[in-house]
């Protein structure tokens, strides 16, 4: 727990105090956010607000991960804590950094062209597929070699699983390694685009991401405290345990990312001094996809990230309706813009959507804990 708390605190402070520096730097570089001409007219006043702020909280998460590992070296159960960096960290941080890099290219092109159209949809899609494929392969083909004091291998789990999962793996739904990579690519694409579509109002995607990442920190730490690879826990055969890899690493990174987003939210809340841009939205989406895979909660992500799902579906419904009937279901999509045009204030929309995000997280955590109680009973 100490390492996770250290990581959260470091990430929060780095993000809180480095974001103003980023605001000044991006303002000096004239890296202002171009505003869509077909978007809500009230957004035109945001034109020129610095973008690419996701760079700050991605960097803060990586720094906090290092700080958290330094704290791990003081723990008496260092073997169980796995002090050395792991493949799990490589996958999770790699997804965040490289999905963020795809978004950074998009943001850079927008700023350079002074136009809201940056990287083409095909280019962005190919970038997401490539990142998802690379880290999906790493997650499925590199098992753990964790050993006990006697040198015996105690954990041969991979970061990902060949079976679909809800609250844990569902053995009957084995999709093979190739199938698992394909599914993971889809999850990466869905999560990155879901966060990106939600990032339309000041603080909306940032606050929702804090809740989702906080939930994964709780889930991963609970898995660590009830971990099959921990001999002190499995000594009692009646104990229910989780067959995951490096749960403390997952909790540390999820907590660090959540803390970094809170620090960024100080400056990103209405009226925003800086936007996360596609850099931050795609980076967060990639990390959230990795969290779902590594905690073996792929299908539970639909509930944990319920707000992202709702907003994404509003776009899908709008497109299908317009192409099939020529009529729009919403005044504008994504959904938050529908309510803007309906007369809701930006702050009201953000707070109410945060409540929806919180409800999804609460339901998901309730299902997760209920499953634990059922198996313990």
pLDDT, tens only, 152-179? 555 789 999 999 999 999 999 999 999 9
The closest of 266, 250, 291 to 207, measured between CA atoms, is: 266
DSSP 35-59: --TTS-GGGGGGTT-B--THHHHHH
Calculate the alpha carbon distances from 25 to 28, 49, 105, 259 in Å.
5, 12, 18, 23
pLDDT at 78: 47
Average of per-residue pLDDT across 224-230:
89
196 annotated as a binding-site residue: yes
Q: Is the pLDDT of residue 117 over 80?
A: no
Which of 210 and 2 is assigned the larger pLDDT? 210
% residues pLDDT > 90 (the chain)? 76
174 annotated as a binding-site residue: no
Task: Give 71's pLDDT tier (boundaries 50, 70, 90).
Answer: confident
pTM: 0.94
pLDDT at 208: 98
pLDDT at 30: 83
Average of per-residue pLDDT across 234-245:
81
Which of 2 and 76 is assigned the larger pLDDT? 2
Calculate the alpha carbon distances from 5 to 11, 64, 244, 253 in Å.
10, 10, 22, 11
């Amino acid at each position: 727990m100490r390492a996770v708390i250290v990581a959260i605190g470091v990430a929060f402070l780095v993000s809180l105090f480095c974001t103003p520096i980023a605001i000044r730097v991006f303002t000096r570089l004239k890296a202002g956010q171009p505003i869509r001409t077909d978007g809500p007219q009230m957004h035109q006043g945001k034109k020129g607000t610095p973008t690419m702020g996701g760079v700050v909280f991605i960097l803060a998460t990586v720094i906090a991960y290092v700080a958290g590992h330094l704290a791990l070296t003081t723990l008496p159960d260092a073997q169980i804590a796995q002090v050395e960096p792991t493949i799990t960290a490589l996958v999770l941080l790699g997804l965040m950094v490289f999905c963020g890099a795809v978004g950074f290219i998009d943001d850079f092109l927008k700023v350079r062209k002074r136009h809201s159209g940056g990287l083409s949809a095909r280019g962005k899609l190919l970038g997401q597929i490539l990142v998802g494929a690379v880290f999906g392969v790493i997650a499925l083909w590199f098992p753990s070699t964790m050993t006990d004091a006697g040198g015996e291998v105690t954990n041969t789990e991979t970061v990902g699983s060949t079976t679909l999962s809800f609250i844990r793996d569902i053995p009957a739904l084995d999709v093979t390694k190739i199938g698992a990579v394909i599914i993971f690519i889809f999850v990466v694409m869905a999560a990155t685009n879901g966060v990106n579509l939600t990032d339309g109002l000041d603080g909306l995607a940032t606050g929702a991401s804090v809740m989702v990442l906080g939930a994964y920190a709780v889930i991963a730490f609970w898995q660590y405290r009830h971990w099959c690879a921990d001999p002190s826990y499995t000594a009692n055969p009646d104990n229910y345990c989780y067959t995951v890899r490096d749960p403390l690493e997952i909790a540390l990174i999820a907590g660090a990312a959540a803390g970094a987003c809170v620090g960024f939210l100080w400056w990103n809340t209405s009226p925003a001094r800086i936007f996360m841009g596609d850099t931050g939205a795609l980076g967060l989406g990639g990390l959230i996809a990795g969290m779902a895979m590594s905690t073996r909660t792929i299908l539970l992500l639909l509930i944990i990230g319920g707000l992202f799902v709702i907003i994404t579906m509003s776009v899908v419904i709008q497109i299908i309706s317009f192409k099939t009937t020529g009529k729009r279901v919403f005044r504008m999509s994504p959904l938050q813009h529908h309510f803007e045009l309906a007369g809701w204030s930006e702050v009201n929309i953000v707070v109410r959507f945060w409540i929806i995000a919180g409800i999804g997280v609460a339901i998901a955590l309730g299902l997760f804990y209920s499953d634990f109680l059922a198996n313990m009973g």
